[in-house]
Homo-oligomer: A and B are copies of this chain.
């Protein structure tokens, strides 16, 4: 481990630290992540990191911020005004980020998201829904509903398998006959098709609720 003399610059900054941290969590997982290991990766003394980020909690914040930024830039390509299309695009971007960083994702799902990038995405969606004439209460509930589902679903899908698609826990057929009978229909566990199917059902719930309440 090549240590440099005190006082000489190591070129550290918040961005470089966050990028290395994301890579480290991707490789070794959240459990094994720590300040010392990150420092070793950066070829730097552990305490150097604390001059840019004030503690481990802030380090985890920086990690979630970094991966969230990825999905934002990916969703900026197209700018549709149809709210369902916005929702689907955002959801797909979010899902792809989750699959790119499966071991980072629990961090995102656990922490409240109040960063500008998250709020901007929500604002866009909510504005489009309102412009489409959806009832205000339905629009107001949408963020919690959609991202609640996305976080929970992705958490389940990512922690369930080895990363390889298509492996369910393999349930006991005699104890749970109905579940077993449906097993073949759950074959594509974690696939895009499954995601589209279920996310569409959630969107359908919003549509349905809007119809039931009238168009504002």
Stretch at the interface among A13-21, A37-45, A84-92, A173-181: A173-181
Q: In the assembly, how many copies of this chain are there?
A: 2
Tell me the smallest distance from the CB of A25 to a CB of chain B, in Å.
15
State whether the Cβ of A70 lies closer than 8 Å to any Cβ in chain B.
no
Contacts of A159-203 to chain B: CB distance below 8 A: 159-160, 169, 171-172, 175-179, 182, 185-186, 194, 197-198, 200-203
User: In the bound complex, how far is the Cα of B156 from the Cα of A20, in angstroms?
Assistant: 27
Contact A126 B160 (CB under 8 A): no
A138 partner residues in chain B, CB cutoff 8 A: 201
Residue of B nearest to A195 (CB): B144
User: In the bound complex, how far is the Cα of B123 from the Cα of A171, in angstroms?
Assistant: 11
State whether the Cβ of A112 lies closer than 8 Å to any Cβ in chain B.
yes
State whether the Cβ of A141 lies closer than 8 Å to any Cβ in chain B.
yes
Contact A141 B198 (CB under 8 A): yes
State whether the Cβ of A122 lies closer than 8 Å to any Cβ in chain B.
yes
State whether the Cβ of A9 lies closer than 8 Å to any Cβ in chain B.
no
| Chain A binding surface, main DSSP class | helix
- The bracket for how many chain A residues form the interface is 35 or more
User: In the bound complex, how far is the Cα of B16 from the Cα of A61, in angstroms?
Assistant: 36
State whether the Cβ of A145 lies closer than 8 Å to any Cβ in chain B.
yes
Given A137-B185, A145-B153, A178-B127: A204 touches B209 (CB 8 Å cut-off): yes
A109 partner residues in chain B, CB cutoff 8 A: 109-110, 152, 155
User: In the bound complex, how far is the Cα of B185 from the Cα of A136, in angstroms?
Assistant: 8
State whether the Cβ of A130 lies closer than 8 Å to any Cβ in chain B.
yes
Contact A141 B205 (CB under 8 A): no
A150 partner residues in chain B, CB cutoff 8 A: 152
A148 partner residues in chain B, CB cutoff 8 A: 149, 152-156, 198
